[in-house]
Structure 1
Amino acid sequence: MRKYLLLLAVAPIALATPAAAQQASAQDEPAAEKGQDKAPAKEVFSTGVAKGRDILDSAISTSSLKSDEIEKFGANSLGEVLRNIPGVRAEYQGGEGNASYSIRGLPLAASGSKFLQLQEDGLPVLEFGDIQLMSSDLFMRVDSNLAQVEAIRGGSASTFASNSPGGVINLISKTGEEEGGSVAASTGLGYDTYRLDFDYGGRISDTLRYQVGGFYRQGEGPRDLGYTAYKGGQFKFNVTKELGEGFIRIYGKYLDDRTPSYQPVPVKVTGTNDKPKFENVANFDLGRDSLVSRNINGIPSLDENNNLKIYNARDGMHSIVKSIGLEAKFDVAGWTISEKFRFADISGSVFENLPLAVAPAIGLAMVNGGPGATLNYANGPRAGQAINPMTLNGNGLLMQSLFINADLKNLDNVTNDLRASRVWDIGGGKLTTTVGFYKSNQSFDSFWTFTTALQDVNGNGNSALVNVNTAAGVPVTQDGILSYSTVGGASYHRRYDVAYDINAPYASVNFHIGKIAIGGSIRYDMGQVDGTLTGAELGGGRVGIKSFDINGDGIISTAESQTAFLPITQPGLVDYDYHYLSYSTGVNFRVSEPLAVFARYSRGGRAAADRILFTPAINYNSGALLDPKDGYDSVRQTEVGVKYRGGSLALNLTGFLANTGERNLQVNSKPDGSVQVEHIIRDYRAYGAEFEGSVRRGPFSLTAGATYTHGEITDDATNPAVIGNTPRHQANFIFEATPQFVTGMFTVGTNFVGTTSSFAQDTNQLKLPGYTVVNAFVQFRPTEKLQLMLNANNLFDTLGVAEVTQASIPASGLVLARSITGRTISGSLRFSF
């Protein structure tokens, strides 16, 4: 890894010469930061394109969210911000990380953002946005140092970034153009959270400016957990040296933050699959409770060296990022050179409590302990007390849970993007040519350990582990643990140590003459994957289950006899390469000053990354792919759109068609309702239309977006029964709207986000009802420098069920589901200086 850091560092140093410069980056473009509250005006867009230009002269679909608008959303996570971008489907119910993102009907078969790349300041946070248990948003935070969010949907995203055929979302930092800063303190009203944000920027000299900012917070958070689950913060800085009209910038980031992971919980469902009614079980609120609890903390297991280790369940999702980067733009011999480089040291851990099954306590007691089995509390304030299974917590339920701990040892990411552009005067028009080379190295060194336990269903952070004894009094569990592995084996007790090396040359041409702009771009991705995997699932005589005296009492209990081991001396090899071609071509016609139409066709690819590891796709003796097709998936997209920007009105309408191939892993349920991991090899088709608009009349303004999508599974190699079905969670219609009234002293408004119904699973049986979330905000500015703000998220306490593991309503009437968080209200005080 270090050799890549040294090699990639050479390019930016060599380019740091005082040459005449071209225009600044997106952060330095006045049009990209000014006019946030003005009528629509010329705006330069730079994410996922060869060169920043007016969006009415570009055959692309774009959106941007300014920082002062983002703060009004009262968002508790990045996903709640990104859900306001038209076309983006964000499933953020799990907390501040490992959310799922898709765009324009592209499949969302698993977690993360497979086809949509998340970036910071023009470079990917992780090369692959859907690494299991560690997706990109786990290592990103929104704070007052953010200038804006830019998003490109489809279009040239597939050729100006690797692994991003669906689009790119880029978080752009402030860079000190405006002198001054702010300090903001916020707190939950009715729930425990405290946060301090700050940012400051300005000039050191006429040609040198800087920006610093970040946040720190702690508290229980918006759900009742019984302990301080949120703790940590982020610090970012950048220093920019202006070189004529160009610049060179050094920037850095330090993130160390802990947040809880909210997994599916037991829910009662009545009615029919087509019209279900979801209700809370007794003593457990779907919108406010979690199975994360004050009583569940130290979980013993074996580490990657098969030594005893106690894992802290309260760490939740612990993200650590230390990064340093460089960005520069200037002219050399008529060519505009753009250089971006970043090294990110990424590590941390993820602890999840994933329910496997929920049932009446008396039933699970019998399943595990036989007829006459008894129950008692294993921990918590009632440890040792006998349990009456019929009256347990007023709901009589017991749950079999899987405690998942992923130790993120090394997710280091080294990225370099070097490009050169030149504008030629030809035949009365402008021909823009661009050539570039992208190189990255993504490490993936992680260890997983799984433990199976029994736990009661109790809210307010009071859930506890439960012991089972046979009728004869023989313990079946040990301190609530059924096995120090998954039930029935060592599945998913794994060690990954793999590196992904990517090289991608790319080029584009764009000819603009009069009202017409015609362009095309091409990219060739070449990836080399090498490393080792360790786990019993690789077969070949590898042993994954042994006995281990976890508590050191000299006696092997039933649970201890089912302890997962790593076959350390028998690793499997990973050694393969892949390559694919991406291209995009489009035409834009500026009908008049405020009106343009465009059309575009694109083909992009996405490397398979870790989702094919531990599957039959690889020969683990040689490390080679058995079928080269397993190395990547492709997306083909057609877009036709119209854009209008005039006076106080802006409107964009785009029709799209996408065909996608995918190889992935999906968590769903077996026919008996129990959780399973399914390998999928599928093709999808999606078509629809996307609308975005804004209007301003005096103090009143409205921004809105809506997307209609028809999605279909067109082929499935392992389950032909789902062909013709709608992919799970794919709604026909999603929308967002933010009306607001602004004066010099106050701002008042609402933010609506909604979805129509979708199916819980690909079998298209159980429907997830549609819902609309209403968020409200009030800002009061008694002086120029002081602002008080009140935010209400989910104002009407809407129950929005976003995920159900089961495919249909089971006979028990109990399912495992995740919903949006119930109503939360927060207040903040900001002082600007």
Structure 2
Amino acid sequence: MRMKTLLLVAAAPLSIVAPASARAQATPDAPSTTADTSAREERAEQEAPRRDVVVTAVARGRDRLDTAVSTSQLLASDIDKIAPRSLAEVFRNIPGIRSESSSGEGGANLSIRGLPMATGGGKYLQLQEDGLPVLEYGDIVYGNADLFMRADLNLATIASVRGGSASTFASNAPGGVINLISKTGETEGGAVQLLEGVDYGEHRLDVDYGGRLGDTWRYHFGGFLRYGQGPRRIGYDGNRGGQLKLNLTREFDGGHVRLYGKVLDDQTVGYRPYPVRVTGTDADPHYESLAGFDIAHDALASRYALRALTLDGDNRPSIFDERRGRRSAVYSVGAEAQVTLAGFTVIDRFRYSTIRGRAGGDFPAAVGAANDIAATIAGAGATMRYASGPGAGQPVTRPDLLGEGNGLLAKAVIFNAKLDRLGNIVNDLRGSRVDPIGPGELTATLGLYDSRQSIDTDWLWISRVMEVRGHGDGALIDVFDANGVAETQDGVHGYSGSAFKGNCCRRRHRVDFYTNAPFGSLNYKIGRVSIGASVRYDLGHAQGLIYSADLGDGRVGLVARDMNGDGRISRAEQRVAVVPLDRPAPVDYDWDYVSYSSGINFRVAEPFAVFARYSRGGRTNADRLWFGPSLNTVTGRPTNPTAAVDRVEQAEAGLKYRRDKAHLDLTGFWARTGEKNAQITAPGEFVDRVYRAHGIEAEGGLDLGVFRLSAGGTYTDAKIVADQITPAYVGHVPRRQARFIYQATPELALGPIELGANVVGTTSSFAQDVNQLTLPGFATVGAFATWHLGERLQFSVNSNNLFDTIGFTEAEDPSIPATGIVRARSINGRTTSLALRLLL
């Protein structure tokens, strides 16, 4: 394994002289917008080539109508109109993508075309920056890939490929690829923008600039700084940090060399499922906010619950500041190049990244009336006292008035996870050649992909008791038994996951994943017909150690320890979880599998084409495999030879139409997916099943000059067709899978003013696989208006979720409990911003 790492490092200088991305030349920077109509027409002419060239997850850049894949692109100008508060809100505007944009900046759950979302992250969908994955696995627990990406003025395009060739032109991405493509200085100029939140806490500065340095050099740099409370009321500045990206390109005949770097250090608030009152029935529920806690604008985060005392991964006392929330720290450098050698266009991308951070936030394991929760902790006759806030030390004389009158307490677990090392080394080398063969042209591609992904994380959960109160004013609560003996200490019930059964989950992971993947493709184009096939052979190895009392075998779980140093052991200090550092379990397994894809495209006429494709891909299981029945903790190998890899079969067929003023893509799809997974918010629950999904997706646009419209929708019929653990779920709809999702953006250009809206919606779905509690369908409307005050100055107003719609993306409870309180994650309420942009 060490030799593989050395080979990857050695590839860095090689990538400078022999390779890079066709993407760089196929995607010019997003042009600046000016007030007059001619400028808008010029922008449309410049944007059109980018919309009609496929460059992501394919062998080489090609006209969209000549490819047998489903693709979409969002330009920088499109993203401005969406007014996104996170990347997940951008992804909602890509057809086929199910993006649950309710967790804040990062940590979103993502899926595609009915592929399952049994747990968090984006298991079957890979997120890339400039053609390389940000993380090898998109569903690392507490380390979802979108945590380490930000959209700012550096962004030129977001390109996506759904299904199809993603299986063979990227590892661990059988469902598709979303690629964030940076500006590279092809367009001279830049911008400075100041953004201010009107009804939420956001203060942000964005800058970017690029251009040429002589005839053969060009550059681009940019980034942002921001601080503020964020979209929800938490009582302190939870979003604070920024990003800097830069690149330098040297052009020469037949190619280029590019060096680039990125620094991201950003801390944000992660939003969890929070309590909401639900009446009615499971099939026809009515959700409403609690007194004192607005489900769309509040969070359990509080200015009075900032200090988290625990043991670190080495079992030493450590204090975490909850104001750090989710911290994402990325330092990456890379190189890409393109040259022509012996008739081959050789392209290569290399990147080395150090990635670390922290995930925090209170997850309500149980919510109920204060007296009831207190009784579950300390028995009959339990009493309460404020442990923090203005009333610290005072008894709770009216439990029914806690939380501004809702009378609720939450037994909450701080998902305190230290992301020590999620860095990776990635290299993608490929060469393509076009040769005339008979009456047509044969394009042949050969490539090799290598990566090393580290997963070094510590789970340091803490359990505490707090009132359910909004505006960042929630206090921690101490609970005493009938004899006045404290069951909690400073609001802490246990320095462990004691709010969950079994005091789960004090864990430590030190594992590296090595992936090698040779791949190749052939595409023959004869007249209006293109026939292609591609194959990829993924092989790899996981090696390292994991530590946890959850592994059994006599490993120590709880100990008594004086956490606050007062010389006494309280009852809470008898529930201190430790990592059994002297008894690790090995992780030591290999995998290999073949992916393939074949398609045919027929360009019926210049503006119209039809295509069909069949693909079979795979996804290696990473850290979600370790603590379930699929891993032998003595040998470190899977208990089932097939457990290391989940397979995805897909078929699709569709049509594409392009004219100057209109376009339409219509695609039917079918998929069958096997999955093994673990539920993190329900410790001890595992998934081993097969899913089937089929449906149709549509995307189109209309440009009449004064009026423009882009829209898309996806209909999906998904079912669980086999379940090894819970056979009763067979025939059920997978949790949170809606039948229909859609988006539309109409725009008007009225002289110097542009107006429009962004509508995103979903029909209802089931909260859990048991198919009882329904999550109602909803639609949000975002409005935008831009006033061009001159050729270089523009003022804009954007309102995300203009009508303050309440919409739920998930719920932890399978049905309405007797208390009527459900823990559900809601989208954010209305957030309105003002922005002033100066074009440079």
TM-score by length of 1: 0.97
Contact kept? 2:21, 2:347, Cα under 8 Å: no
Return closer, same or farther for 1:744/1:30 CA change in 2, 3 Å cut-off: farther
- Please give the alpha-carbon distance, in whole angstroms, between the structure 1 residues aligned to 2:82 and 2:684: 35
Q: What is aligned with 2:660?
A: 647
- Please give the alpha-carbon distance, in whole angstroms, between the structure 2 residues aligned to 1:439 and 1:744: 52
Q: What is aligned with 2:116?
A: 107
2:727 is aligned with 1:720: yes
- Please give the alpha-carbon distance, in whole angstroms, between the structure 1 residues aligned to 2:732 and 2:776: 18
Among 759, 768, 774, the alignment partner of 2:781 is 774
Among 172, 181, 187, the alignment partner of 1:178 is 187
Q: Map of 1:295-314 to 2, 5 A cutoff?
A: 295-314=304-323
- Please give the alpha-carbon distance, in whole angstroms, between the structure 2 residues aligned to 1:155 and 1:817: 34
Contact kept? 1:651, 1:693, Cα under 8 Å: yes
- Please give the alpha-carbon distance, in whole angstroms, between the structure 2 residues aligned to 1:792 and 1:242: 42
How far apart are residue 551 of structure 1 and its match?
A: 1.0
Contact kept? 1:31, 1:43, Cα under 8 Å: no
Contact kept? 1:689, 1:707, Cα under 8 Å: yes
Contact kept? 2:228, 2:238, Cα under 8 Å: yes
- Please give the alpha-carbon distance, in whole angstroms, between the structure 1 residues aligned to 2:613 and 2:26: 26
Contact kept? 1:28, 1:175, Cα under 8 Å: no
Among 668, 674, 678, the alignment partner of 2:685 is 678
Return closer, same or farther for 1:489/1:271 CA change in 2, 3 Å cut-off: closer
Among 423, 429, 432, the alignment partner of 1:421 is 432
- Aligned residue identity for 1:374: T
How far apart are residue 329 of structure 1 and its match?
A: 0.8
2:17 is aligned with 1:8: no
Contact kept? 1:489, 1:545, Cα under 8 Å: no
Which runs of no fewer than 5 residues in structure 2 stay unpaired?
A: 32-41
- Aligned residue identity for 2:444: T
Among 22, 29, 47, the alignment partner of 1:25 is 22
2:587 is aligned with 1:574: yes
Deviation sequence 1:575-633 (CA, Å, 0-9, x none)? 11011110000000000000000000000000001110122322222212221211010
Among 445, 449, 473, the alignment partner of 2:484 is 473
Contact kept? 1:524, 1:581, Cα under 8 Å: yes
Q: Secondary structure of 2:489's match?
A: coil
- Please give the alpha-carbon distance, in whole angstroms, between the structure 2 residues aligned to 1:536 and 1:484: 14
Q: Map of 1:380-391 to 2, 5 A cutoff?
A: 380-387=389-396, 388-391=398-401
Deviation sequence 1:174-220 (CA, Å, 0-9, x none)? 00001111100001002221000010001111000000000000000
Q: What is aligned with 1:505?
A: 518
TM-score by length of 2: 0.96
- Please give the alpha-carbon distance, in whole angstroms, between the structure 1 residues aligned to 2:80 and 2:16: 36
How far apart are residue 6 of structure 1 and its match?
A: 4.6
Q: Secondary structure of 1:614's match?
A: coil
Moved more, 92-101 or 56-65: 92-101
- Please give the alpha-carbon distance, in whole angstroms, between the structure 1 residues aligned to 2:10 and 2:562: 53
Among 777, 786, 799, the alignment partner of 2:793 is 786
- Please give the alpha-carbon distance, in whole angstroms, between the structure 2 residues aligned to 1:140 and 1:751: 23
- Please give the alpha-carbon distance, in whole angstroms, between the structure 2 residues aligned to 1:243 and 1:48: 25
Q: What is aligned with 1:518?
A: 531
**What is the aligned-residue RMSD (CA, Å)?**
1.5
How far apart are residue 319 of structure 1 and its match?
A: 0.4
Q: What is aligned with 2:80?
A: 71
Among 787, 798, 801, the alignment partner of 2:805 is 798
Contact kept? 2:28, 2:187, Cα under 8 Å: no
Q: What is aligned with 1:672?
A: none
Q: What is aligned with 1:52?
A: 61
- Please give the alpha-carbon distance, in whole angstroms, between the structure 2 residues aligned to 1:101 and 1:663: 17
- Aligned residue identity for 2:171: S
- Please give the alpha-carbon distance, in whole angstroms, between the structure 2 residues aligned to 1:33 and 1:463: 45
Among 362, 378, 381, the alignment partner of 1:372 is 381
Return closer, same or farther for 1:36/1:8 CA change in 2, 3 Å cut-off: farther
Return closer, same or farther for 1:288/1:435 CA change in 2, 3 Å cut-off: same
How far apart are residue 698 of structure 1 and its match?
A: 2.2
Q: What is aligned with 2:38?
A: none
How far apart are residue 3 of structure 1 and its match?
A: 6.4
Deviation sequence 1:473-505 (CA, Å, 0-9, x none)? 111111111111122544210000000000000
- Aligned residue identity for 1:14: L
Contact kept? 2:52, 2:63, Cα under 8 Å: yes
- Please give the alpha-carbon distance, in whole angstroms, between the structure 2 residues aligned to 1:743 and 1:6: 59
- Please give the alpha-carbon distance, in whole angstroms, between the structure 2 residues aligned to 1:828 and 1:562: 50
Deviation sequence 1:658-711 (CA, Å, 0-9, x none)? 00000011256xxxxxx5551010100000000000011121000000000000
Q: Secondary structure of 2:769's match?
A: coil
Q: What is aligned with 1:444?
A: 455
- Please give the alpha-carbon distance, in whole angstroms, between the structure 2 residues aligned to 1:244 and 1:83: 40
Return closer, same or farther for 1:205/1:352 CA change in 2, 3 Å cut-off: same
Deviation sequence 1:526-553 (CA, Å, 0-9, x none)? 0100000011111121111110001111
- Aligned residue identity for 1:26: R
- Please give the alpha-carbon distance, in whole angstroms, between the structure 2 residues aligned to 1:751 and 1:226: 30
Q: Map of 1:737-756 to 2, 5 A cutoff?
A: 737-756=744-763
Q: Percent identity?
A: 50
- Aligned residue identity for 1:389: P
How far apart are residue 352 of structure 1 and its match?
A: 2.2
- Please give the alpha-carbon distance, in whole angstroms, between the structure 2 residues aligned to 1:314 and 1:248: 41
- Please give the alpha-carbon distance, in whole angstroms, between the structure 2 residues aligned to 1:659 and 1:617: 21
- Please give the alpha-carbon distance, in whole angstroms, between the structure 1 residues aligned to 2:306 and 2:553: 36
Deviation sequence 1:33-64 (CA, Å, 0-9, x none)? 67753495672111000011001000000000
- Please give the alpha-carbon distance, in whole angstroms, between the structure 2 residues aligned to 1:15 and 1:137: 26
2:494 is aligned with 1:483: yes
- Please give the alpha-carbon distance, in whole angstroms, between the structure 1 residues aligned to 2:524 and 2:433: 12
Q: What is aligned with 1:118?
A: 127
Q: What is aligned with 2:35?
A: none
Deviation sequence 1:416-453 (CA, Å, 0-9, x none)? 00001100101121100000000000001111111111
- Please give the alpha-carbon distance, in whole angstroms, between the structure 2 residues aligned to 1:789 and 1:484: 48
Paired residue total = 824
- Please give the alpha-carbon distance, in whole angstroms, between the structure 2 residues aligned to 1:159 and 1:305: 41
Contact kept? 1:605, 1:632, Cα under 8 Å: yes
2:536 is aligned with 1:529: no
Q: What is aligned with 2:36?
A: none
- Please give the alpha-carbon distance, in whole angstroms, between the structure 2 residues aligned to 1:24 and 1:549: 57
Moved more, 382-391 or 777-786: 382-391
Q: Secondary structure of 1:368's match?
A: helix
- Aligned residue identity for 1:98: G
Contact kept? 2:21, 2:131, Cα under 8 Å: no
Contact kept? 2:98, 2:110, Cα under 8 Å: yes
Moved more, 747-756 or 485-494: 485-494
Q: Map of 1:549-560 to 2, 5 A cutoff?
A: 549-560=562-573
Q: Map of 1:119-134 to 2, 5 A cutoff?
A: 119-134=128-143
Which runs of no fewer than 5 residues in structure 1 stay unpaired?
A: 669-674
Q: What is aligned with 1:400?
A: 411
- Aligned residue identity for 1:8: L
- Aligned residue identity for 2:536: R
Contact kept? 2:121, 2:140, Cα under 8 Å: yes
- Aligned residue identity for 2:443: T
Q: Secondary structure of 1:636's match?
A: strand
How far apart are residue 8 of structure 1 and its match?
A: 2.3
Deviation sequence 1:312-342 (CA, Å, 0-9, x none)? 1111110000000011111001111001000
Among 264, 267, 286, the alignment partner of 1:258 is 267
- Please give the alpha-carbon distance, in whole angstroms, between the structure 2 residues aligned to 1:623 and 1:383: 49
How far apart are residue 761 of structure 1 and its match?
A: 0.6
2:825 is aligned with 1:818: yes
Return closer, same or farther for 1:40/1:364 CA change in 2, 3 Å cut-off: same
2:658 is aligned with 1:689: no
Deviation sequence 1:239-277 (CA, Å, 0-9, x none)? 000011411100000000000011111110011111110
Q: What is aligned with 1:757?
A: 764
